[in-house]
Amino acid sequence: MGKLLAVTIIIIAIASAVPFVMHTWEPPADVSTHGGLIDEQMADTMIEAGVSFLAAQILLGLFIWQFSKPRTDSKVKTFPGGAKGLVIAAIVLVGVEVLALGAFGSKAWAAVYFTPPAADAMPVQVQAGQFAFYFRYPGPDGKFGPLHPEMINEGNQNLFGLDPEHDVESRDDVVTAEMAIPVNKEVHLLMHAKDVSHSFYVPALRIHQDFVPGLDLSLHFTATKVGTYEIVCSQLCGLGHYNMRAYLKVLSQQDFDEWMKKEQAAQ
């Protein structure tokens, strides 16, 4: 039975690795400028994790195969090098390498979080609420009108709580349910939560950031490929969490301008 266990463990280990090696299930293709670093980091980690995983499982299998055989002699043997060798192996081969991997990976993290947005980045505000995202563009005046949470009324689509009667800056603000951005133009995303925690997850853009009620955060990114992508919520926000999404349209500058004109007319 020991041999069977050995074989089973090795078969399971190899079978488990196959979909990763064959790229059977992949994240949506990257369309961001910074995502390459993340993908590279994932691939590097996959190699290290994969090798560790297979090595440990196969070694476990082999030893079970070899030493579960009933033996008549009463002798036990000790692994060559003993514990010291294994501890050193754990620290050097796995520990140091993983730490090094982490250190190199900081670059990918820094590319997203430690660089300020360009001065000419296009500001877009996103508001997350149960259970939809809404977006706001500042309009021709380039200024966002102030928010009045007490004025939010979804029934008449005052989704952000704007007061155009009193706030001049609000009058030209463009509020939309889908997000459109020009391709190859940096976007400065201003994140605001209306009610509870949500998350802004765009797998294709390699962007993922929670909304924190009471704390407005920001992100910046550049999309490199025209297309429609899904923005989904990944932070449990209530019963409609599974259905909280919006579409991100990456458009050519010309198409974006037309889209904006259409949206302005609809306000």
Partner 1 sequence: MHETAAPAVVHGPPTTFLSKHVFSLDHKVIGLQYYTLALVAVVTGMVLSWLMRIHLGWSSAAIPGLQVLSPNGAPGGVMTPEYYLQLMTMHATIMVFFVLTTAPFAAFGNYFLPIQVGAEDMPFPHFNMMSFWTTFTAFLILVAAFFVPDGPPLSGWTAYAPLSAIGKNAGPGEGTGQVLWAAALGVFCIGQLLGSLNFISTVLDMRTKGMTLARLPVTCWAWFITSCMGLTAFAVLMPATILLILDHVAGTSFFIASGLVLNDQLVPHSGGSTLLWQHLFWFFGHPEVYIAIVPGMGIVTHVLVTNMRRPMLSMKAILYSMWALAFLSYMVYGHHMFVSGMNPFSSLVFSFPTLMITIPSTVVVLIWIGSLYGSKLRINTASLFALGFISMFVSGGVSGFFLAQPSIDIMLHATYFVVGHFHMVMGVAAMFGIFSGTYFWFPKMTGHMMNETIGKIHFWLTFVGTYCIFMPFHYLGWAGNVRRYAAFTDDFLKPLIPVHQFITVAAIFTGAVQLLFIYNLIYSRFRGPAAPANPWEGTSLEWAMPSPPPWNNFGGHDPIVYHDADQYGVKTASGADYIMQNSPEQALGTAEGD
Partner 2 sequence: MTLKHVFLAALATLAAVTLTAAGPGSGTITGKITYDGTPAKQKPIDMSKEPSCASQHPTPITTETVVTGPGNTLENVVVYISAGAPDEAAPSAPVNFDQKGCQYVPHMLAFQTNQELKISNDDQTSHNIHPLAKINQEWNKSQPPGTPPIIAKYDKAEMIHVKCNIHPWMSGTFAVLKNSHYSVSDKDGNFKLPNLPPGKYTITAWHEPDQEMTQDVEISGSETKTVSFVFKLKPY
Positions 242 through 261 that interact with partner 2 (CB under 8 A): 243-247
Select the residue interacting with partner 2 from 32, 57, 176, 199 (CB under 8 A).
Answer: 176
Select the residue interacting with partner 1 from 141, 166, 215, 261 (CB under 8 A).
Answer: 215
Question: How far is 181 from 219, CA to CA, in rounded Å?
Answer: 14
178 binds, among partner 1, partner 2, none (CB under 5 to 8 A by kind): partner 2
x-marked contacts with partner 2 along 221-240 as a string, rule CB under 8 A = -----------------xxx
Our measurement of the distance from residue 68's CA atom to the centroid of its chain's CA atoms, rounded to an integer in Å, reads: 45
Relative to beta strand 245-251, strand 227-232 is antiparallel
Question: How far is 206 from 41, CA to CA, in rounded Å?
Answer: 12
DSSP letters for 162-194: --TTT-GGGTT-EEESSEEEETT-EEEEEEEES
259 binds partner 1 (CB under 8 A): no
Among 157, 138, 160, 134, which Cα is nearest to 147's? 160
- Contact positions with partner 2 (CB under 8 A) in 93-132: 129-132
- Contact positions with partner 1 (CB under 8 A) in 114-133: 114, 129-130
132 binds, among partner 2, partner 1, none (CB under 5 to 8 A by kind): partner 2
Taking the least distance from each CB to partner 1, the nearer of 74 and 254 is: 74
- Contact positions with partner 1 (CB under 8 A) in 2-21: 2, 5, 8-9, 12-13, 16, 19-20
DSSP letters for 35-64: HHHHHHHHHHHHHHHHHHHHHHHHHHHHHH
Taking the least distance from each CB to partner 2, the nearer of 16 and 153 is: 153
Size of the site for partner 2 (CB under 8 A): 27
Select the residue interacting with partner 1 from 36, 102, 142, 146 (CB under 8 A).
Answer: 102
Coil, strand or helix at 124: strand
167 binds partner 1 (CB under 8 A): no
Burial zone of 60 (CB within 10 Å; 0-12 exposed, 13-18 middle, 19+ buried): middle
Taking the least distance from each CB to partner 2, the nearer of 34 and 194 is: 194
User: What does DSSP assign to residue 154?
Assistant: G
Select the residue interacting with partner 1 from 119, 239, 265, 266 (CB under 8 A).
Answer: 239
Relative to beta strand 245-251, strand 179-182 is parallel
Select the residue interacting with partner 1 from 120, 140, 155, 266 (CB under 8 A).
Answer: 155
Identify which range of 63-71, 150-158, 181-189, 207-215 contacts partner 2 by CB under 8 A.
150-158
Least distance from C-beta 262 to partner 1, angstroms? Answer: 23
Sheet holding 132-137, edge to edge: 174-176, 132-137, 122-129, 186-193, 217-222
Residues near partner 2, by CB under 8 A: 129-133, 153-157, 159, 163-165, 176-178, 238-240, 243-247, 266-267
